[in-house]
A and B are shown apart, each in its own frame.
Chain A
Amino acid sequence: MLLDIIATKYNYAGFIFLMCIGLWAMIGKRNLPKKILGMSIFQTAIMLFYISISVKTNATLPIIDAHGAHGHDLHVRAADYLNPLPHVLMLTAIVVSVATLGVALALVQKVYREHETLEEPEILEQLRK
């Protein structure tokens, strides 16, 4: 029973592991770039999770090969192609993650310009003075 579950759902364990690494880096690390790295790992884990949902056994990429058939006699069966919806959603998520990464790095550079350090305790110490 347990072995069946592991054999058919092992992919989720990988994403959860990655996601926990990212979350731990965001909560536990004191260095701001490391926190941003953790955020990226977290986002990547969620992207992989969505992409794995789109997988169907014995299916191919969601690009229809229209060269073989001409016009209307093309018959497409949904079971032959991967689910395109998670791909589209994750295309969006990848671009948004790049945008958030860029803004986060810009903020970190600004913080460094102000405080000359990227360690969170030292920044908090300077803010208390």
Chain B
Amino acid sequence: MKALAWISCVLLGVAMLYVATNFPDWGDPNSPASLHLSPHYIEQAIPETSVPNIVSALLADYRGYDTMFETAVVFTAAMACFFILRVLGCEVSGQQLYRHLETGILIRSARRINLPLGSSFKRVESVSQRYDFITAKVCRLMIPFLQIFGLYVIAHGHHSPGGGFQGGVILGSAWILLAISHDLQSACDRYAERKMFVFVATGVLIYAGTGVLAMLYGGNFLDYSFLGPLFGLDPVASRSFGIFVVEVGVGFTVMATMILLYNFLASAGRCDEGL
């Protein structure tokens, strides 16, 4: 079986190498892919949308449908992970463990105690669960800057490399840093899972809602130039602003999906102490 797989892969590789000899040269400016649509996009992006980053203009405006359904795919992935993995209703009962964070002393309690936020004690799942003081404090210092950088990448996606997907991933990774440096339970206390699902749905809703709004103003679906009266801008500037609104929606969905995927995969769907 393995030999058969090897032989068929090599044969396929040889066949593709043979076909590749007819492909355009590396870096050829006159390759077929660069001759049909892309000159129009490059030359007309600024006059038509006033967005200097052509990739952003293409992503959210010219190919808006593509990106909208891509956001829907991300939404579906989060939902699929939830339905495959999430274990609900496994509330722990009986003896509970509490750790004093600064000294690391473990305290056993016969019943569950509800700790106020910011308490110096923390409920832990097992004796082996560690809390590293320096790592936790350094990560807490870094996370706000990561989040601001994520917001910058979303908001500045018109003028520099960036956009909703990249910024959303950075925002999500800030949360994952929190979950790694502390533990999943205390990260989940700050970002409720239910809110994350609201965010996933809100992002798709913002995207599709912008398209429907354009229809209400008399344009085609996702034709932002008709949103001028709503934003108080001329048609070209309103296309730029429409791209921004859509990117914010994408950022919501991607951030919440990253968080939920990590959440379910790291804890096998239990959302307890995690890795």
CB-CB contacts of B1-29 with A at 8 A, as 1s and 0s?
11001101110110011001101111111
Q: Which of B95-137 contact A (CB under 8 A)?
A: none
The answer for the CA separation of A95 and B257 in the assembled complex, in Å, is: 11
The answer for the CA separation of A103 and B45 in the assembled complex, in Å, is: 36
Residues of B in contact, count (CB < 8 Å): 63
Residues in A with CB closer than 8 Å to B76 are 99
A79 B29 Cβ-Cβ under 8 A:
yes
B8 A27 Cβ-Cβ under 8 A:
yes
Residues in B with CB closer than 8 Å to A23 are 9, 12
Does any Cβ of B come within 8 Å of A37's Cβ?
no
Does any Cβ of A come within 8 Å of B38's Cβ?
yes
Residues in A with CB closer than 8 Å to B186 are none
The answer for the CA separation of A94 and B73 in the assembled complex, in Å, is: 12
- State the main secondary structure of chain B at its contact with A: helix
Residues of A in contact, count (CB < 8 Å): 58
B70 A92 Cβ-Cβ under 8 A:
yes
Does any Cβ of B come within 8 Å of A83's Cβ?
yes
- Total of A-B residue pairs, C-beta within 8 Å: 163
A65 B2 Cβ-Cβ under 8 A:
no
B41 to chain A, nearest CB (A): 6
Which among B28, B37, B77, B268 has the greatest number of chain A C-beta atoms within 10 A? B77
The answer for the CA separation of A93 and B267 in the assembled complex, in Å, is: 27
Residues in A with CB closer than 8 Å to B257 are 99, 102
The answer for the CA separation of A21 and B87 in the assembled complex, in Å, is: 36
Q: Which of A1-26 contact B (CB under 8 A)?
A: 5, 8-13, 16-17, 19-20, 23-24
With A9-B20, A102-B81 as contacts: A56 and B27 at CB distance below 8 Å: yes
Residues in A with CB closer than 8 Å to B54 are 62-64, 81, 84
A9 to chain B, nearest CB (A): 6
Does any Cβ of B come within 8 Å of A113's Cβ?
yes
- Nearest neighbor of A55 in chain B, beta-carbon distance: B27
In the complex, identify which listed stretch (B55-63, B174-182, B207-215) lies at the interface while the others stay far away: B55-63
Would you mind naming 26 contact pairs between A and B with Cβ atoms under 8 Å apart?
A12-B16, A12-B17, A20-B13, A23-B12, A28-B9, A56-B29, A59-B29, A62-B54, A62-B55, A63-B55, A63-B160, A72-B47, A78-B42, A78-B43, A83-B38, A88-B59, A88-B63, A88-B66, A99-B76, A99-B257, A100-B77, A103-B77, A106-B81, A106-B85, A109-B84, A110-B85
Binding site for B on A (CB under 8 A): 5, 8-13, 16-17, 19-20, 23-24, 27-28, 52-59, 61-66, 72, 74, 76-79, 81, 83-88, 91-92, 94-96, 98-100, 102-103, 105-107, 109-110, 113
Binding site for A on B (CB under 8 A): 1-2, 5-6, 8-10, 12-13, 16-17, 20-21, 23-29, 31, 33-34, 37-39, 41-43, 45-47, 52-55, 58-59, 63, 66-67, 70, 73-74, 76-78, 80-81, 84-85, 159-161, 163, 165, 254, 257, 261, 264-265, 268-269
